[in-house]
Amino acid sequence: MKQPSSSPSGAPLETRATLDPADWDEFRALGHTMLDDMVDFMSTIRERPVWQSPSAEARAALSAPLPRAGADPREAYATFQKAIQPFPTGNIHPRFWGWVMGNGTPVGFLADMLGSALNCHVSGYDQAAALVEHEVLRWLAELMDYPKDASGLLVSGGTMANLVGLTVARNHAGGSTLRRDGLRPEAGGALTVYGSTATHSWVGRCCDLLGLGEKAFRTVAVDARHRVRVDELAAAIRADRGRGLQPFCIIANAGTVACGATDDLHALADLARQEKLWLHVDGAFGALVKLSPKYRHVVDGLERADSIAFDLHKWGYMQYEIGAVLVRDAQAHADAFSFEASYLEKFRGGIAVNPIEFSSRGVQLSRGFRALRVWMHLSVYGSERIGRAIEQNVDDVAYLRERIGREPELEILGPAELNVLCFRYVVPGAAPEALDAMNSELLVQVQESGVAVPSNARLDGKFGLRIANTNHRTVPSDFDLLVDTVLRFGRELTPRSASPGSASPSPASRPSSSPSSR
């Protein structure tokens, strides 16, 4: 068929604005170059520093004026190569152990390319993308030993997953009128939620967003293993009821931020049932240990929770950003978020049979094709292979613990029972505040050296370097290099004539931050 030479308005087609390339073959060639370059980048990641601060040239290149006319895509790619690609967070590197960041996978990279090309809007609709999300949610429920009829949603990450779970809990407790009338404390007492002092800061943020107020989160002390004290939790719940408050939810931790501790989930499930409260588990990274036959006992009882939040971009090794929430009671989930809009009606057929199925389970109406990333990842690697990688991470931290234990200048802080370990450099007789300052400076020096990226934590009031190993690329020799580097920098920071209480960081001894200092 002959292509029209003009638009219905009569304007020549060649004068119309289009965002497609003028030459698809040229675009294809550029795309192949980008693909090859990024595969080279990923496959040679060990040859580069873990992290380096963006150069002055990069900062200048990324402070350009608003592009008005645009330019050849090859020019934009050249800027990417010079100013962006060399200065990422660094979490794909084998020696990145900061915070809890996953590394992504080559298959995940390809999945993102495919999903981006399709550019599906996955609020619902009759499309394959919706079927994929249904399938992966069913897979995730099976991995967590959840019922087949449980509900769930893929979200951006742990905070949003926890927000969804806590919202369902709040609305379930507040009854059918809460969504219409809002919170009315005078009707039954202010709603309160409970967890340990080791719980992540998302709780305060979510209590604020949900209109509960930050004071609604009632914190309970932890034991020597940094697990919530269940007896004190029970006492706090009953005391608040006696004061006219309305307890509605217990938050359990499966992998705390500071040291990776997991609460006694069976004991908390028993308490929640006894007190008729919702049990929500923040399993940001720890829930994924379910995939490991060797270590899954750590989260025994997880399957009894009313809702579970976890991040697939952490210990699931998937590309950012992808988290998940599972809700045992599908009707409670629907009641908390479902909505109707005249412009999003359901029809007996066509694409809009159920246009808001997934957006009625959470906050977002516009949703991308996150599910393809999960589907490709699990389809190619399988849950057993991922579980073996998780086991390696835990075993390697045990190796690090043993290595640190052989070094008199290093001290382990807190428990190291899973994949998180905290430690510090010590100087005999040094004042506590001096040791904190010294280890803070040591942390910066390790990061700036390009050798490794740990983060930090305070355990029992002591500042330490924190290793969170969710890295499928790490091997034991990487931890040997970390320990050797920490010892070297620690010795350089220690005054030669150190006397009790005098150890403090010496800026003059700061090593070069160039990659060559590796």
**CA dihedral sign, ordered 22, 80, 468, 265:** negative
**What pLDDT, in 10s, does the model give residues 57-111?**
999 999 999 999 999 999 999 999 999 999 999 999 999 999 999 999 999 999 9
Whether residues 45 and 162 share a domain: the answer is no
**What pLDDT, in 10s, does the model give residues 452-475?**
999 999 999 999 999 999 999 999
DSSP conformation letters of 20-81: S-S-HHHHHHHHHHHHHHHHHHHHTGGGS-S--PPPHHHHHHTTPPPPSS---HHHHHHHII
Q: Is residue 323 part of a domain?
A: yes
Query: Hey, what's the torsion of the CAs at 29, 30, 36, 40, to 10 degrees?
Result: 150
Domain count, the chain: 2
Whether residues 285 and 431 share a domain: the answer is no
How many angstroms separate the CA atoms of 493 and 475, rounded?
28
Locate all alpha helices (DSSP H) within 210-354, ordered by sequence. 230-242, 265-275, 330-337
Peptide bond connecting 384 to the previous residue in cis, omega within 30 degrees of 0: no
Task: Give the domain-ending residue among 341, 368, 395.
Answer: 368
Residue 496 CB coordination number (10 Å): 5
Q: Is residue 111 part of a domain?
A: no
* Local confidence pLDDT in tens for the 518 residues of the chain: 555 666 666 666 667 889 999 999 999 999 999 999 999 999 999 999 999 999 999 999 999 999 999 999 999 999 999 999 999 999 999 999 999 999 999 999 999 999 999 999 999 999 999 999 999 999 999 999 999 999 999 999 999 999 999 999 999 998 878 888 888 877 678 999 999 999 999 999 999 999 999 999 999 999 999 999 999 999 999 999 999 999 999 999 999 999 999 999 999 999 999 999 999 999 999 999 999 999 999 999 999 999 999 999 999 999 999 999 999 999 999 999 988 765 667 788 889 888 889 999 999 999 999 999 999 999 999 999 999 999 999 999 999 999 999 999 999 999 999 999 999 999 999 999 999 999 999 999 999 999 999 999 999 999 999 999 999 999 999 999 999 999 999 999 997 645 444 444 444 344 443 333 33
Query: What confidence score (pLDDT) does residue 517 get?
Result: 34
How many angstroms separate the CA atoms of 132 and 149, rounded?
16
Q: Which helix (DSSP H) or strand (DSSP E) does residue 413 occupy?
A: strand 410-413
Query: What confidence score (pLDDT) does residue 354 get?
Result: 85
Q: Give the predicted TM-score (pTM) of the model.
A: 0.92
Q: Is residue 16 part of a domain?
A: no
Whether residues 169 and 225 share a domain: the answer is yes
Whether residues 268 and 363 share a domain: the answer is yes
Tokens of 255: 């992998």
Whether residues 200 and 281 share a domain: the answer is yes
Task: Supply the CATH number for residue 332's domain.
Answer: 3.40.640.10
Task: Give the domain-ending residue among 368, 402, 437.
Answer: 368
Whether residues 161 and 266 share a domain: the answer is yes
How many angstroms separate the CA atoms of 329 and 276, rounded?
15
Q: Is residue 80 part of a domain?
A: no
Instruction: Please name which of 194, 139, 150, 182 lies closest in space to residue 379, comparing C-alpha atoms.
Output: 139
Strand blocks (E) in 267-330: 278-282, 307-311, 323-327
Q: Which helix (DSSP H) or strand (DSSP E) does residue 250 occupy?
A: strand 246-253
* Sole residue written with tokens 């403090």: 504
**Can you state the angle between helices 158-174 and 330-337, rounded to 10 degrees?**
90
Tokens of 81: 């190569």
Contact between 495 and 428 (Cβ < 8 Å) = no
Task: Supply the CATH number for residue 474's domain.
Answer: 3.90.1150.170
Q: What's the domain range around 465?
A: 32-51+88-103+384-518
Query: What confidence score (pLDDT) does residue 9 get?
Result: 61
